[in-house]
Chain A
Amino acid sequence: MLAALAARSVARAKGLLIALAALLCGFQVLVIVSAREIYRGQMFAELASLIPSGLQQMAGGLVFTSFTGLASFGFFHPVVILVFVEAAVFLATEPAWEVEAGMVDLTLARPVPRSLVISRTLLVAFGAAAALALLMALSTRLALHAFAPATAAWPRVETTTLLAINLAVLAWCFAALSLLIAAMVRRRSTAVGIAGLAAVLLYLVHVLAELWRPAYPLRLIAPYHYYNAPALLALTSNGWQRDLGVLLGTTALFVAAAYVVYERRDL
Chain B
Amino acid sequence: MPEPVAALATEGLTKYYGPVIGIEDVNLVVHGGETFGFLGANGAGKTTTIRLILDLLRPSRGRATVGGLDCRQDSVRVRQQIGYLPAEMPVYPEMSGRAYLAFLARLQHPAPDAAWMESLLRRFDVSDTDLARPIRDLSHGMKRKLGILQALMGKAPLLILDEPTSGLDPLMIEAFVETIRELRAEGCTVFLSSHVLSEVEKLCDRVGLVSRGRLVKIAALDEIRDRMPRRVRVVFSQPVSTPPPTLAGTRIVRASPDEWIVEISGPAGPIVQWLGALPVRDMDIETATLEEYVLGLYSEGTA
Give the residues in chain B near A109, CB-CB below 8 Å: 54, 56, 79, 82, 84, 86
Closest to A100 in B: B90
A1 at the interface (CB under 8 A from B): yes
B90 touching A103 by the CB < 8 A rule? Answer: yes
Q: With A111-B109, A266-B57, A267-B57 as known contacts, state yes or no: A106 contacts B150, CB within 8 Å.
A: yes
How far is the CB of A230 from the nearest CB of chain B, in Å?
44
What's the tally of chain A residues with a CB closer than 8 Å to chain B? 24
The residue in A3, A105, A109, A111 that gathers the most chain B C-beta atoms within 10 A of its C-beta is: A109
B237 at the interface (CB under 8 A from A): no
A267 touching B150 by the CB < 8 A rule? Answer: no
B107 touching A1 by the CB < 8 A rule? Answer: yes
B108 touching A110 by the CB < 8 A rule? Answer: yes
What's the tally of chain B residues with a CB closer than 8 Å to chain A? 25
Give the residues in chain A near B58, CB-CB below 8 Å: 264-266
Give the residues in chain B near A45, CB-CB below 8 Å: none
B86 touching A105 by the CB < 8 A rule? Answer: yes
Q: With A111-B76, A111-B77, A264-B58 as known contacts, state yes or no: A102 contacts B107, CB within 8 Å.
A: no
Give the residues in chain A near B107, CB-CB below 8 Å: 1, 4-5, 107, 110-112
How far is the CB of B167 from the nearest CB of chain A, in Å?
16
A266 touching B56 by the CB < 8 A rule? Answer: yes
For the complex, what is the distance from the CA of A187 to the CA of B76, rounded to whole Å? 25
A242 at the interface (CB under 8 A from B): no
Closest to A108 in B: B56
A213 at the interface (CB under 8 A from B): no
For the complex, what is the distance from the CA of A104 to the CA of B58, rounded to whole Å? 14
For the complex, what is the distance from the CA of A101 to the CA of B79, rounded to whole Å? 20
| 6 nearest CB pairs, A to B | A102-B90, A4-B106, A109-B84, A111-B80, A110-B107, A267-B56
* Chain A residues with a Cβ under 8 A of chain B: 1, 3-5, 8, 12, 101-114, 264-267
